[in-house]
Every structure is written in structure tokens, then in C-alpha cells.
Structure 1
Amino acid sequence: MPVLATKLFIPQLRPHAVPRPRLIEKLNEGLRSGRKLTLVAAPAGFGKTTLLSEWIADAQHRDPALMVAWLSLDESDNEPSRFLAYLLSAVNHADPTLGVEAPSDQPTGMTATLTTLINEFSQASQHILLVLDDFQFIEDPSLLGAVVFLLDHLPAKLHLVIISRSDPLLPVARLRAGGELTELRAADLRFTPDEAATFLNQMMHLGLSSAEITALETRTEGWIAGLQLAALSLRERTDVSGFIQGFTGSNRFVIDYLVEEVLQRQPAHIRDFLLHTAILDRLSGPLCDAVTELTGSSEILASLERDNLFVVPLDDRRQWYRYHHLFADMLRARLAGDGPALPARLHTLASVWLEQNGLAEDAVTHALAAADFERAARLIELAVPMVRQSRQDATLLRWLTLLPRDVITRHPVLGVYYAWSSLVSGDLQAAQSRLVDAEHALAATTADGAPAHDSVLSEELRTLPVTIAVYRAALAQARGDVGAMREHASQALDLTQPGDHLGRGAAAGFLGLASWAAGDLDDGVRAFGEVQTSLRLAGNLADALGTTIPSADMLISQGRLRQARRAYEQAVRLAGEQGDPPPLSTGDLHVGLSELLRELGDLPAASEHLATSEALGDRSNSRENRYRWYVAMARIRQAEGHPDVAIDLLGEAERHYLRGFFPEVRPIPAMKARVWIAQGRLNEALAWADEHGLSAGAESAAVDLSYLREFDHLTLARLLIAQLKTPEALRLLDRLLDAAETGRRSTTEILILQALAHGAHGDTALALAPLARALAQAEPEGYVRLFVDEGAAMAALLREAATRGIAPNYVRRLLRDIRPTDGRPGGIQTLTEPLSERELHVLRLLASELSGPDIARELYISLNTLRTHTKHIFTKLEVNSRPAAVRRADSLGLL
């Protein structure tokens, strides 16, 4: 993505700027006090940018080593990847030694890249100002969240400055309450009478009396742009008092009048230049020459700056300028008043020049503004590879929504990508309709034999039938129609040509998903093996590594733990060999390996891989898989004897869950129900069963026990066992066992539950038969937690199995890891009110060397929540300090 350098230049101090020492001192005081944020928020025309230019010049005069990173934002920057690219460009422009690079995969890398940037700034020896001008254009929640993240972790030497026409959607109140904010508002920025007098008489040389200055200052309420417009109108007036006396009315009409006055006093060629170039957000001599179809624009821009005619230089070489926002708005309104024909022509001329000079995005914007939709469609088609590669999906969707439907229907490539955008946004009906339109357009294009206007587009058209079939498979997957998904994926595979590795990979992927959802795991594993091969041949190693996750999930469901482990370890090793930054999905691979190692009983290694994933940040974790980190951590915490913590983490997993392409074979609500059942909180588990339509009648032959509901039904079987409804549980488990054996899936968990059901009913002899089968299946693969997590009931059955000589070595290994009780020390019963599991966990951390904030981070809770837990602990232990609580807990055996 090309970066427009002029957005990074600090605006030069205007020659007619009024010194404002009172405001400069307020800004300096905020910097000296170490406050995090300076906010300058006021409507247009209040001199915000001019003031910041003066402040920066003053600050750098006082401290020549001060670095300033400046970024002028506009509407197109409300896009995560674009914003991040420009932010890093601004930083690197200020200090090239940093060299932090933007990720290639848009919002997934935001937090990790900012973390790297913060770490770089924390090493800085000098102060740094990061200025974001025109911040009102930033509305995307992920971008606002990124700025909050930056503020929350701001190094001492870095100071953030935000200039905005409106209050940004940031925690301003919190920063103000915490003494971390310096703010200037319209009331601060308005010219005082003295400043107005300085501007009007010393800068504009009008020679007004004190009464006239006071009257004008009062009527404009110190609004700087209003005073400037008034001053320009007064330059050649003889009846000054009459003008000032008539200077009344609402701002809109006053502004319209003043702009008329300013324009009418310009020579005709300057007036035409101003009106014709008003369509441009940024002006340069060559661009203005193209739009006006004249020459000499560079000289005109320089003279406009000298005359203080609302032209702001954007670089120190005076090659790029912009009009004052308010002035540009007024010029555009005047231009539009003459009809749409001239603005449309001007936009088209701008679009042509911008395309020829490699500024594709701006060229599209002007083509759309000109309503030259065929040109815009062609430009968008050419820009699609770049936009999709940089993951600017929001930009693409915004462009497509501005094109008339009949134009899109004539451009099948655009129609297909519009269908995809609709599918991603959840509008399945629109996606279906646009795919139909695209197919018709493609058929017409093929029939006409019209050549594509670009080789890249020719390739897009050639492979479009495959893309359409793949997207139809995706649409079927979103609707839960596994049969249609398989049909369209097979069609896509048949349509692929030799060498179309991406097409084959996508088609094979949906075939694998269909097999997975249907419970045909052998076919699913084979299909994803083909996907990985195709992606590697296409040179897409990152996505190829990502296929390890669904493949390993299916292998685990088949009970093939060792093969899944080898696949994960190989993928993690290959990802590590790619250098920095690591490929997308590297963090996901560590999470998957962590889950596997937890099952194999290696909790320290499992925790280490989760820590590695977290350290890699969003840059190496897909958004769709982010929830799995919380699931994996919840299962570790449960294995460590902290079920309440596990429930909290599963709640976080629910909040991060995004429905993706993978079938939901282990629903999070069912995981929570399993923790409740283990805790004996059967009311919560029963509520879960009711909510999901599960009941004791699930063992009936009329109930569908498909693979996608297997996890739910196994959880229901656990609930029935806990309720001592053994016959119902065993009938359900018999049906589940038949289905799993037919589908060639692992039956180990089902056999374990059969053993527990018999054991709960007192039939130890009957329990040993399924237990022996489960042990025989599990021992070669190294299962641990599947047995150990069942606790005391399983321990009793394993001890009986050992006496019968059933897998004695394996049984001894499992018994070593089973907690002798529910994890709650006996001493707790001596308290009047026992501590909860959560409070016990907090108490053990209070006995460590960790600080309060460290404990809060360890538990993933806020400091206020930690204080609440601590208060309850102190009350129950009858103490009033942390050391006293630790001593009391130690005496009771709670530690």
C-alpha cells in the first residue's frame, strides 16, 4: 500500500499566525507533568493545527532532540491496516532507527505491532510527540481500541496528541479524573480581544479602532476563521463601520456571505482556479494543472499561500497543499450550485491523473464522485488484488456499495467479491443474489469473447467459475447445509485447471469441512492433507500451516493423539523457521499444541505454549481462533483444581467466539456445563440442558445423535450420571457408542462414562469391562486427563482394575495424578464460612511474591475485583492485612 508522504509532514508555522503564549504554556505544563494525552478539540476554524505547529516549533527550539511523529488523518484512514501503515510510517519518518513494520494481514496484527512500537519507544532516550490530526475521521471500534491500548501502555517518554473537530470515542473522562489529560476546547482557542487586535491590525494591517475590534470579536465570538474571513473582506472596504455593523446572523449565512466577498475580490482566473481545484483533498502543481487543464498551478498555489488565502502547506518544500477545511467546503458548495456537469468533469480529470501517477485509491474515489461508474468499476477491478492482499475489506465493500447494481452485473469479478463481502457481513440472501448476477455476467462475457483489459483481470476471469463454486460452498456452510457444501466443493474441484493450486486448495478445504461436519473424519483428514499440499504449491505457507489445526482436531477425535502431536510440533517448528514476524496462525498452533499436551498430562508445557501464543499477540493469532486460547487456559485451570477460574475463562471464550468455517464440535456452553457437573452445581447444568433442548429422553431412538451434537449428548450423559439416572445414561451411551464406532471415531470417553455410570450404580464388575476397553485404547496414545479429570469416582475404579491386573503400569501412572479430594484442604472446614475455590486461588497468590497488579493479571481480573476478593478473604479469616491472612491460612493448612 503506497504511503502519501504529505500526510506525515508537520504543517509549517503560518506567517500571519498570532503568538499564543498562554496556550503554549498550558501545553508545555501538560508535557512537563508527564500526562499521557493532550486533546485539542474544537470545531473547524479555531486554529487547532496552527497552534500545534507553533507549540512544536517552540518545543523543538527548547529541546532540539525532541522527536515529533505527525499524521494527518482523513476519511480513508478509518481502516485498520491503512491506519496502522500510516501510523508506523509517521513514527519511522520521525525516527528512522525504529524501523517497525506494518503487518500484511490487517487488524490481526494491531496489538502485537503496537506492543513492539511501545517497547521501542520505551528504550528512547529523548521525548517523543505522536500527533494525530483530524482524529474525528476515526470511528472504527478496533482502531479506537488500539488507541486506548496505546494510551494504557504509554511509555514515559512518549506523549500522544490528538487534534479533532469532535470529542473522540476514547476514555477521556477516565484520563481527566486520573490527572493524565491536558485539553484545549473551543473556549480556550477563541481569540481574546488582545489576540484579535493583534491579528486584525498587526497581521492583516487593517488599522481598526478598539471599538471596531471589540465589535468584530464579539460578533465572531473569537472564532478565528470568522475573523480571518472578515479581515479578507475588509481589506478593500471603505465603509468599515458599516460592514462591521452589518456583520450579524447565523454562522452559516455569515460564512456564505464572507466567502462570496472573498471570491468576488479575486481575479477571474484565481476564482476559477479555487472553484475547480476545490474537489481535491490535496493539491499539487501538476495535479491542479491536470484538473484545470492549464499550466502555472504551482505559482498560483505559492501566491495563495503568500496571500493567506486559506491554503495550508503540507510539506516543507511547498509541493503539496490543502485548503482550509471550511474554505474547501464553501468552495465545493458554490461549485455544486452551478450544476453537476462541471464537478463530474473535474473529478474525472483528477481520477485520470491519479491513476497515471500510481494513486489507485484516490483515483477510484474521484471516479465514484464523478459518477463515472464504468471507469470506477475498471479501477476497482485492477485494485482488488492489492486491496485484498492488504486485507482492506472495508474499503472494497465501501467502493462496491457506491456502484449501481447494473454496473456490478456487467463486471463479474466485482459481483463475486461483492457476494463474498455480503457473506462475510452475514447477509446470506444478498450473497446468493450477487452470485447469480455474477454467473450471468460471466456467461455474457464469455459469449461476447470480450478481452479483459489487464492480464491480472484475465486470470481472475479465467478462475472465476471455481471461485463462484467455492463461495457457493461457503454459503451452504453458513446455512448449515452440509450436502450442498459438499456438492459445490466437488464442482469447484472439477472446474480447477492444472496449476490452480489455490482453487484446488479451497475446494478440498470445503470438502474436508463437509466430511468433518458429517463425522466422516477419515475423509476429512485426507481432504485437509490435500489442502495443505495445494497451499504449499501455491507458495502460501502461512495458510498451509493453519490447516494443521483442523487436521489435528479430527485426529484427536479419532483418538490419534500421537499423530496429532507430531503434526503440531512439525508445524510449530516450520513456523519458527520463517523468521520475524512469524506467519499468521503461529499463535493458534501453540494453542492447539497446548490443548494436546494438557490431555497428555504435561500441564507445565501446556501453560508454556499458551504463554508463547499470548506473547506473539494478535499478529500471529487469527480472530476466529482467538477464543480457543481462553478455552485451553480454562481447561488447564480446571485441571489445577480451580473450576471457578475455569468458568470465568470460558465466559471470556464466549465473548471472543466468532463463527468461522470450522464446525462447532465442542460448544463452549457444554464445556461450562461439564465444569458445573464436576462441581456438583447441577441446577446450572440442568438450565443448560433445558436451554439447548436436551433431556433424559435423549436416549430415544427418535433423537438425532449426529456428530455435531455428540459433545452435547456426552455432556448430558454426565449430567444423568450425576443425577443417578443410570438406566437413561446407559441407553444414551449405548447409542453414542454405536454411532462413534460406525463413524470410526474414538470411543474412549464413551467407554469411560459407561464405566462411571455402572460404578455410580454400584455395579463395579460391570464397570470394569468398558474401563478395560478404554484403557486398552488410551494407553498407546498416552491419554491422561480424560481419566484423571473424573476424580475420586475414577480413582476407585482404577484401583479395582489394578487389583484385577488390568493395565497395571498405566493405571498406576493415572492414579498418581488424580487428586485425593476435590482439592479443598480439610482445614477449610474449621472456618465459620469456607473460602470459595476462587478465594482459595487468590489466597495462594497472596502468599506469593506477586504484587496486587501482578495477581490481577494472573487471574485475568481487574484490580477492583481483586480487592473485593481480598476483602472477603480477610473477613472470613478474621484478619485485616495480607501478612496476617497468609499466617492465618498457613496455620489452617490452606496453603
Structure 2
Amino acid sequence: MKRSMIATKLYVPAPRRGFVARPRLREKLRRGAESGLLLVSAPAGFGKTALLADWLGAAGEGRRVAWLSLEPADSEPATFWTYVAASLQEAVTGVGAGALELLGTSPSATELVITSLVNDLAEVAEDVWLVLDDYHAVDSQAVRAGMTYFVEHLPPHVHVVLSTRSDPDLPLSRWRVRGDLAEIRAADLRFTPEEAAAYFKDVAGLDLDPGQVSTLEQRTEGWIAALQLAALSLRDRNDAAGFIERFAGNDRYIVDYLVEEVLEHQPESVRSFLLHTAVLGRLTGPLCDAVTGREDGSATLVALERANLFVIPLDDRREWYRYHHLFADVLRGRLLGQEPGRIPVLHERASHWYESHGHLEDSIRHALAGKDFDRAGHLVELAVPVLRRSRQDAVLFGWLRELPDAVIRRSPVLSVFYGGMLMSAGELGGAEQRFDDADRGLADAASAEPAHRPATDEELMLPATIAIYRASLAQARGDVAGTAAHARNALALAGPGHHLARGAAGAFLGLAAWAEGDVRRALETFTQAVASLRAAGNLLDELSSTVILSDMWQAAGRPGEARRICEAALHEANTRGDALARAGAELHVALSELCRQSGDPGGAIRHLDAAAAFVERGPMTESRYRWFVAKGLVAQDEGDPGRALTYLDQAEQLFRPGFFPAVRPVPAIKARVRIRQGDLAAAAAWARAAGVTAADKAGYLHEYSHLTLVRLLIAQQRKQPNTPVAAGALDLLDRLLADAAPSGRAGSVVEIRLLQALAHDALGDTPRAQEALASALTGVPEPEQYVRLFLDEGPPMLALLRGAVRESGDAAMDDGGAAAHARRLLALAAPPHPLASGWVPSRPEPSRPGEEPPSDVDPLSERELQVLRLLDSELSGPEIARALFISHNTLRTHTKHIFTKLGVSSRRAAVRRGRDRGLL
């Protein structure tokens, strides 16, 4: 397939030969250009398209014009916005690429697509004009809602022009009152007597007296199409006066009458050509020959253009044309009335021509229009590999919805991919039925006579593909054993060289092991799967899968390794350009989570900002919701739980069960925010709805929810000390620890130990609380990576950390450097000082002997404050650098800036000055 869209729909129509200049309308258009929306509304044949093409063509430089000619087939929102994005991309470099990527994999995300387009347009310096010609053809409810949102959010330098036969169902009154709407209507577009006279004389070459011109102008009310048709009919008539005298009637009858008059005055060969090629949306000589069975297609098109017979060139080479929409409608109506049985034959011929020229999409369109559904199904099968490689799922889904159910069920290929699309939409039951259909189809094919053609790669891979989809379905349902069984079956069915299938099957085996909590086996298996994806050349999926590997490394207690592989993958994504933008966005989100956990809020925000544009304009499939989760947690850290819950609500709406285990359910994340808020009633309601209790059996898939429940029980214990609910929490924590420790989930172990410390503390058992805290601080390979995990627990944890520092002489707290980690966490937990936000003393403070007094006091950045707090600890320079995940050279730079700003020359002096000013 050479293209997924009809490129000629995006061309600004070429200037028409003999166009009558209309300065009065150019001036009206110029004045209306200051509005956000320009509505050109009039019945068919009033010259809307020609007027806009002439005006925009004469506008000169400094204006970018995106043109889209619409038709009823574009009424589906995914199709409509695909074409809008493509037209903008054609006009302005850099606009629309993300929207097209989003539409390719998530066709229902209309609001995100529109937001992406608006944000892209906001970055453009020049004026941009988006012309939607024949907008009435797509005025569906879904398109109307999207257009309202789009127009309401446009930047001032972007203008939309709607050329339409009827007023669209948009909030025109509101925009009119606000001055955001300019209008060109039929009364404006009608030819004046002077313009009509100029047309008949200069364009049509007819010598009519002023009275005759006036009569035609009055009878047609300046309707340009009717005047053109009248001119065609008048050319070979000797009784012009009689024809003009008889010319009367309303618009509908005038059209029927005049078109009939024109057709009847054409030679039979021309009439036949016009009718038989009316089924084509675009016309070119060889295609017309294939459809009509003649050999004069190119010559006839040229002759029709020269005769002004409603043929519009679509390119400068005069190779492709289209009929005027009104004329085409009338031609198709006459064809249906005169030769209804011929229409399927014409579409079949067009379909074969397009297929032979490599245009599968057009071939499929004509097969569907001709109701040749068996052929259409076969063509869609041929198109599947290309569509899958280019991620054009929306196009494939649109075709499948037009095919009868019986055709899909007879094709294993179509059944399995239709099922996959149903799965992505959350229709798990419907998806399973389609996979059953695919299995039956394969069994029937195996028992039938041998095929006359060799099987395609897609057909050879189909059994493995079905097994992979079934593994995905089991994964979405939480069936870990089923996931593993189907994945093993897929591996057995895939050949040694089928790296894509082997990679997908291996990935599901790794995910099943992860869901079971066996992180060691999960890491080994999933790493091999990612290698298979690379061998298959599927770099996008390989880099996206790195995010899952990162989660597994975090579960193993190795967030540093998780960061390393994400940074390496992000570097590769960035070097490959826009093609891997989706993977880059997913990696930015993963790195944001890692930065937040390690105590680098600035880095967390930067990574989220880097992914934000893609979240709005491009698909992140299942992982899209993670951006909103990460954004919500950052908002929580900033002390705004209301905003945090808003983001988490959005994440919950976007979440779809599918390819990855839901090891961190969004409702449980929201419950943790509620607990920190002190809204224990809402958190308890979550626990009841989720069905989690302190008596549950331990398991990794429910571990996050159980640890959330433990936090709730501890909070309830602190609120009502006489009700020892924390004792039940300790029992649950013991079971969770027994499940996590042998499975290599060191990340779970540190969180469990941390909560054991808090539970003992809530029960008043300080020695056991400090013992558990020491294990939490030192029980993982990379304890310095865990910051937010501790600080999120608030004042009770800070009190325990201060106790750990005070009791650092105790052997339990000395072993492994627990006290040093506690000091580091306390330093990072210190609230920002006003100086960090720009506060400057009214006068310089006196310096100490040997120190230069600062001439002014510059505010310390957030990172510099973190460095200063760690300078006030026992950590060495390299240890401080590791704690902050920066190089030693970067630490030296920060230290130099701190010394300069504080007017000191040593670490001890910087700490002393920081204390003097209340920074420590």
C-alpha cells in the first residue's frame, strides 16, 4: 500500500481557467481574516471553493494554508482528524505528526489528538489557515463536538475556514457575539449583474444583451453553477432569447433540468464516459480506461476540462482530476437510475486497477463500495502486514467494521486481528469469540484440500499469533497460569527465525513470572524476549519493553540499574528521531518515577514535561495512564492532594487491562493519597470495595493493595490507640515478607520492613521499630535510591529517623550505615527556606575572620540547598554525589556556587553560614 490517505484531498485547487475576479469578496474575506472562524455557507454551486482558492492563492507570503477537501467517507472522527492532521502537516513542518501517530494506534482519543494539534499550532510563527472544504459532508455529532473544542482553543494566529452547503451545528451564535466569527453567505456569493455579464462575455464567450444577462441573473439569483450550466446550454443554440425566456424554477429543478440539458447535448461517447466514471472519487486516464473499457481516458479528461464540464484538476501535471461534487452527485444518480446493475462491475474494475498498481487502500474501498465483500476481505488480508508494521490500526478496524460478520469469521487472519482490536477496546468477551473463530478457520483449512498458492508469512505465523493474543487475554483477566500456558504454546508454534513471535511469547512468559512474584525468573525471561524483539527489527517495542524491565529491576531492589537501562534506551530513541517518539515518552515517564523516588523532584518534573507533549498528541497505548499517575504523585509531593487526585482520576479512566500485570492499581494509589490526607473513611471504603483484608493470603499481584491496607491500619491505630489494629497489620506484613524475600523482591522487602517499623512505633514498641527501620535502611543493594518511600510516610517516619540518628551508637543502627542513611533522608526532607525562592536579606551579614563578605546574596537553587544539607552530614564528597545521583565534578560545581553565594571558602564555613541564615 503506497499511502493510507488520499493525498489529492490535501491539494489547494488549481486556479480555474476564466475565473471572474471579485474584488468586493476579496475585501470581505480580508476583513473577516481577523476572526478565528470564517464560515463560507451557501448552497451547492455558489463558487465557494473557487473563491477561497483564488483568495488564498493571491495572499502572498507570510501565510500557511492547509487545505482539506472532505467527503462523506470522512465522517468517522478518526478519519476526519487524520486528514486534518495530515493537511496541517503538509502546510507547516512539525505540525500534526504526533496526532497522526496517536490516531494510528488509538483512534478514539479525539480530545488528545485535538490538544496535540492546538499545541503544535501554538508554536508556529506565521499565520495558519485551515480550509475545510465541503464541511457539510462530515457534519456528524462526533465531528461537531471535536470541531467545537478545536475552534475554542485555537491560538490567535490560526484561522479555520469552513466551506459548507448548510450551517454546521456549532455554537455560531456565541462566537458571533464574541466577535470570533466572520461569515460569507449566499447573498455575498451571488454574481452581481456586472459579474454575470463579465462571465458570459469573457469566460463563456456569449454575446448576450444586458437584458438577457439581467434575466438570467435574476432567475438564478446569481447562482454560479446555474449560470455556468446555462452558458453550456446556450453555446450551440440559435434561439438564445427563447431559452432564456423559458429558464425558470427553484434550485432543485434547475439543477435537474440544466444537467439534463448539458448531458443531452453531449455526444453519446461523452455521456457514457461521464456516467461510467462517476463511481470514481479521482480520475486519471488509465484508471478511466480500465473502468470504461475504452482507450481515450486521458484525452477525454483534457477535453472535458477545456469545455468547463465540471472537471477540476488535482495537480499541476493534469494527470488527476475530480468531478465537481454537484455534478458527480447528479451523474451517480442518473447512473443508478439508468444502469443499476452496472455499478458493481464498475467498482470491481476500479478495484482491480488499483490493486494492480499497488494501491491496496483504494482497491479495498472500491471492493467495499461494489459490495464484493469476499474480494474486500481477501484484500484486507493482504494489507494486514503493512498496516501492522506502520501501526495503522484505525484504518484496519474501519475496514473490518464494513465487512459482513460472515466474511470475517471465514478468515482466520481477519478474525484474529479483529479480536485483537476488540481487546484493545476492552471488549474481552468479544475478543475471545474471534480467537475461537480463527482457531476453527485454521482447523477447517487444514482438513480441506491443499491450497493452490503457498501460504504467506502472516498465515504461517497465525497459530503462534493466536496463542500470543490468548496469552494477552489471560493476562488482562489476571489468569497467570493461563498466560504462561498460552505463551509456551506460542513459543512451540513459532519457528526459530520468527523473532517477533518468539519475542512476544517470551515477554508474556516473563510477565507471568513477574505476576507470580518471581522477579529473578521474570528478569531473565523478559530480557531474552527483548533481545528477540531487537532481532526482529522491532525497535519501538524493544525500547517500550525497557520500561517493563525497569519495573522488574525496581521490584528486585535495583532502581539504579532500572535508571541505567532507561537512560540508555532513551538515548537510542532520541538518536532515531520521531519514529520512536512514543517509546521516548514512555521512557521519560519511567525516569520521572525513578527521579522522584530518589529525591530529585526537579528531574521528575523535567521528564514529565518532556513526555507531556506526546501524551497530548501521540499514543502511549496502555502506559498512557502512567504519566497521569506520575504527575499525581509529584502534585502530592508538592502538597496539593486535590490536584494529585484529579490526575489519578484521569489515570484511572485511561487504564485498560491488557499486556502488563496491574501490580500498582490506581485505586490503591488514590487510597494512599487519602491516607496521607487523613481521610481514613474514604481509604476504608476503598479497602472494602477492593476486598482486601488483613487475613488475606500473600501474593505479588495484590501486594501493593495489601501494603496500602497496612498504611490504613497504622493510621487508624494512631487515631485510636486503644484499638490495636496495627497488630493485624504486623501479621499481614510477616506473611508478605515471607512471600517476597525468597522470590528476590528486595524492593518489596524494604517497603515491608519500613511499614513494620511504623506499625511497631504505632503500638509503642520503639526498640522493635528501630530494629525494623535499620533493616529497611540497609536491606537493599542500593539504599540511597530510596527517598520518597521513606519521606512519604510523613512525621512518624521523620521521628523514627531522628531516633535512629540519636541512637547511632547502638550496634543495630551502626551496622551497614543505617544512621548515615537516616541523616541523608532527614537532610533531603528539610523544607525549602525562603532564600531558595528568591528571599534576599535587607543588608549583608557580617563575615567571619578570613571570609570575604558577600556583596549580595543570590538565592540558592533547590539542588544547591540539597547539597548544603548533605554537606552538614558525615558523608564524604563522593558519598554525597552518589546520594544525589550526580558526578563528583557536578558536586564540585554546586559546591563552588554555594561558596560564592554564601561568601565562604570552605565546607565548614558554608555549613556555619547556612545555620546562621536558617537554611539548616
- Corresponding position of 2:772: 770
- Corresponding position of 2:728: 731
Alpha-carbon displacement from aligned partner over 1:639-690 (angstroms, at most 9, x marks no partner): 2433343333333433544444222222223222222221223343344344
SS of equivalent residue, structure 1 residue 337: helix
Match of 1:802 among 801, 805, 808: 805
Code of the aligned partner of 2:789: L
* Contact 1:84/1:102 (8 A) holds in 2: no
- Corresponding position of 1:481: 479
Code of the aligned partner of 2:648: L
Relative to 1, partners in 2 of residues 1:559 and 1:41: Cα closer, same or farther, differing over 3 Å? farther
1:257 and 1:705 map into 2 onto residues whose CA distance is 81
In the TM superposition, residue 541 of structure 1 has moved relative to its aligned partner by 2.0
- Corresponding position of 1:699: 694
- Corresponding position of 2:404: 404
Q: Which moved more, 1:304-313 or 1:614-623?
A: 614-623
1:640 and 1:57 map into 2 onto residues whose CA distance is 52
- Corresponding position of 1:677: 675
* Contact 2:475/2:658 (8 A) holds in 1: no
Q: Which moved more, 1:680-689 or 1:230-239?
A: 230-239
Number of equivalent positions: 806
- Corresponding position of 1:564: 562
- Corresponding position of 1:26: 28
- Corresponding position of 1:747: 749
In the TM superposition, residue 463 of structure 1 has moved relative to its aligned partner by 0.9
* Contact 1:79/1:392 (8 A) holds in 2: no
* Contact 2:377/2:408 (8 A) holds in 1: yes
In the TM superposition, residue 544 of structure 1 has moved relative to its aligned partner by 1.0
* Contact 2:75/2:143 (8 A) holds in 1: no
Does structure 1 residue 359 correspond to structure 2 residue 359? yes
* Contact 2:426/2:657 (8 A) holds in 1: no
- Corresponding position of 1:107: 103
Relative to 1, partners in 2 of residues 1:776 and 1:583: Cα closer, same or farther, differing over 3 Å? same
2:422 and 2:252 map into 1 onto residues whose CA distance is 40
SS of equivalent residue, structure 2 residue 39: strand
Does structure 1 residue 816 correspond to structure 2 residue 844? no
- Corresponding position of 2:787: 784
Relative to 1, partners in 2 of residues 1:26 and 1:477: Cα closer, same or farther, differing over 3 Å? same
Identity of aligned residues (%): 48
In the TM superposition, residue 461 of structure 1 has moved relative to its aligned partner by 1.2
- Corresponding position of 1:625: 623
Code of the aligned partner of 1:551: L
In the TM superposition, residue 222 of structure 1 has moved relative to its aligned partner by 4.8
2:102 and 2:501 map into 1 onto residues whose CA distance is 23
In the TM superposition, residue 242 of structure 1 has moved relative to its aligned partner by 8.7
Code of the aligned partner of 1:72: S
Match of 1:552 among 545, 550, 553: 550
Relative to 1, partners in 2 of residues 1:210 and 1:108: Cα closer, same or farther, differing over 3 Å? same
In the TM superposition, residue 279 of structure 1 has moved relative to its aligned partner by 0.4
- Corresponding position of 1:261: 261
- Corresponding position of 1:713: 706
SS of equivalent residue, structure 1 residue 182: strand
In the TM superposition, residue 592 of structure 1 has moved relative to its aligned partner by 0.9
1:302 and 1:582 map into 2 onto residues whose CA distance is 45
Relative to 1, partners in 2 of residues 1:368 and 1:642: Cα closer, same or farther, differing over 3 Å? closer
* Contact 1:699/1:729 (8 A) holds in 2: no
Q: Which moved more, 1:138-147 or 1:772-781?
A: 138-147
- Corresponding position of 2:881: none
* Contact 2:582/2:614 (8 A) holds in 1: no
- Corresponding position of 1:521: 519
1:648 and 1:275 map into 2 onto residues whose CA distance is 58
Aligned pairs for 1:384-403 (under 5 A) are 384-403=384-403
1:424 and 1:294 map into 2 onto residues whose CA distance is 47
- Corresponding position of 1:866: none
* Contact 2:122/2:155 (8 A) holds in 1: no
- Corresponding position of 1:72: 69
Alpha-carbon displacement from aligned partner over 1:283-325 (angstroms, at most 9, x marks no partner): 1222212211112222322332233322222223332221111
Code of the aligned partner of 1:307: A
For structure 1, list consecutive stretches of 5 or more residues without a partner in the other structure: 824-847, 849-892
Aligned pairs for 1:184-195 (under 5 A) are 184-191=184-191, 195=195
1:707 and 1:172 map into 2 onto residues whose CA distance is 55
In the TM superposition, residue 280 of structure 1 has moved relative to its aligned partner by 0.6
* Contact 1:354/1:362 (8 A) holds in 2: yes
1:54 and 1:298 map into 2 onto residues whose CA distance is 26
* Contact 2:279/2:332 (8 A) holds in 1: yes
Alpha-carbon displacement from aligned partner over 1:338-366 (angstroms, at most 9, x marks no partner): 45431111111111222222222111111
Q: Which moved more, 1:183-192 or 1:546-555?
A: 183-192
SS of equivalent residue, structure 2 residue 322: strand
Aligned pairs for 1:109-148 (under 5 A) are 118=121, 121-122=124-125, 129-136=129-136
Code of the aligned partner of 1:751: R
Alpha-carbon displacement from aligned partner over 1:730-762 (angstroms, at most 9, x marks no partner): 314422431343243323223322322332233
Alpha-carbon displacement from aligned partner over 1:164-188 (angstroms, at most 9, x marks no partner): 4456687766765554443324454
- Corresponding position of 1:291: 291
1:705 and 1:428 map into 2 onto residues whose CA distance is 28
* Contact 2:94/2:120 (8 A) holds in 1: no
Relative to 1, partners in 2 of residues 1:79 and 1:588: Cα closer, same or farther, differing over 3 Å? farther
- Corresponding position of 1:643: 641
Relative to 1, partners in 2 of residues 1:712 and 1:462: Cα closer, same or farther, differing over 3 Å? same
Q: CA RMSD in A?
A: 4.0
2:678 and 2:128 map into 1 onto residues whose CA distance is 56
SS of equivalent residue, structure 1 residue 547: helix
Q: Which moved more, 1:72-81 or 1:583-592?
A: 72-81
* Contact 1:78/1:140 (8 A) holds in 2: no
Relative to 1, partners in 2 of residues 1:240 and 1:736: Cα closer, same or farther, differing over 3 Å? farther
1:16 and 1:439 map into 2 onto residues whose CA distance is 63
Code of the aligned partner of 2:368: L
Relative to 1, partners in 2 of residues 1:41 and 1:505: Cα closer, same or farther, differing over 3 Å? farther
Relative to 1, partners in 2 of residues 1:525 and 1:597: Cα closer, same or farther, differing over 3 Å? same
SS of equivalent residue, structure 1 residue 163: strand
Q: Which moved more, 1:706-715 or 1:538-547?
A: 706-715
Aligned pairs for 1:463-612 (under 5 A) are 463-579=461-577, 582-612=580-610
Code of the aligned partner of 2:664: R
Code of the aligned partner of 1:770: A
1:276 and 1:712 map into 2 onto residues whose CA distance is 66
Relative to 1, partners in 2 of residues 1:729 and 1:219: Cα closer, same or farther, differing over 3 Å? farther
SS of equivalent residue, structure 1 residue 578: helix
- Corresponding position of 2:445: 445
Code of the aligned partner of 2:694: E
SS of equivalent residue, structure 1 residue 584: helix
In the TM superposition, residue 497 of structure 1 has moved relative to its aligned partner by 0.9
In the TM superposition, residue 537 of structure 1 has moved relative to its aligned partner by 1.0
- Corresponding position of 1:759: 761
Code of the aligned partner of 2:528: E
* Contact 1:531/1:547 (8 A) holds in 2: no
SS of equivalent residue, structure 1 residue 606: helix
Q: Which moved more, 1:10-19 or 1:364-373?
A: 10-19
Code of the aligned partner of 1:608: R
2:729 and 2:833 map into 1 onto residues whose CA distance is 28
* Contact 1:81/1:390 (8 A) holds in 2: no
Code of the aligned partner of 2:366: H
In the TM superposition, residue 275 of structure 1 has moved relative to its aligned partner by 0.8
In the TM superposition, residue 792 of structure 1 has moved relative to its aligned partner by 1.4
1:732 and 1:686 map into 2 onto residues whose CA distance is 14
SS of equivalent residue, structure 2 residue 345: helix
Give me the TM-score of the superposition, normalised by structure 2. 0.78
Give me the TM-score of the superposition, normalised by structure 1. 0.80
- Corresponding position of 1:342: 342
* Contact 1:575/1:582 (8 A) holds in 2: yes
In the TM superposition, residue 116 of structure 1 has moved relative to its aligned partner by 9.6
